[in-house]
Amino acid sequence: MPQGKPTTVPNDGLTTRQRRRRPILAVHTGPGKGKSTAAFGLALRAWNAGWPIGVFQFVKSAKWRVGEEDALTALGEYHAQTGTGAPVTWHKMGEGWSWIQRAGTEQDHARDAAEGWEQIKRDLAAENYGLYVLDEFTYPMKWGWVDVDDVVETLGNRPGSQHVVITGRDAHPSLLEAADLVTEMTKVKHPMDAGQKGQKGIEW
């Protein structure tokens, strides 16, 4: 609804223009599909706006975002060749980040998650990206591997114009409270309910 009019005008001392340019903290949560997919769709807009994109993949499995990774990496290469768009940096947290615990102990996973978050903090402090996609970042928050208060405070105090989108189920209430934009994806119908398994190009 870009053409819409806000229903309220807050008494925050900002002009409409200043308010419009505030960076967004978005959360895509809920049990339905499209949480991450919509975040990567948002990355297309960011790319076109010329904002460097940093993806931090708190992966379930190394292969699951391969379609998005290859396509966004290609957009980064296109930018390097033509100057159009923006660079794309894809951070994979490795198998240790899996919430389906394929290898390593829970302590290993917790340490990996904490290290990933420390990297994000350094990038935020350095204003390295215009859009951060923190894919499935709700899970390490939920499991206490990353301190929720630290996340909320760090994001709330991030400098400059750095947009952040966090995906995953069961977003912490404090994160929802801090977010500017929250969308819940609800499953109405899924092919798996009719006995159909996931397929390349659709599910990953």
Per CB under 8 A, 36 contacts a second copy: yes
CB 129 within 8 A of CB 162: yes
Per CB under 8 A, 84 contacts a second copy: yes
Query: For a second copy, which is the closer residue by CB, 61 or 174?
Result: 61
Residue whose tokens read 């794309």 = 88
CB of 63 to a second copy, least distance (A): 8
Contacts to a second copy from residues 132-161, by CB under 8 A? none
Candidates 8, 15, 107, 157; binder of a second copy (CB under 8 A) is 8
Q: SS3 of 88, please?
A: strand
Q: Which stretch binds a second copy (CB under 8 A): 78-86, 112-120, 121-129, 138-146?
A: 78-86
Q: Which two tokens stand for residue 14?
A: 């900002």
Candidates 45, 80, 143, 153; binder of a second copy (CB under 8 A) is 45
The arrangement of strands across the sheet holding 53-57 comes to: 25-29, 163-167, 131-135, 53-57, 88-92
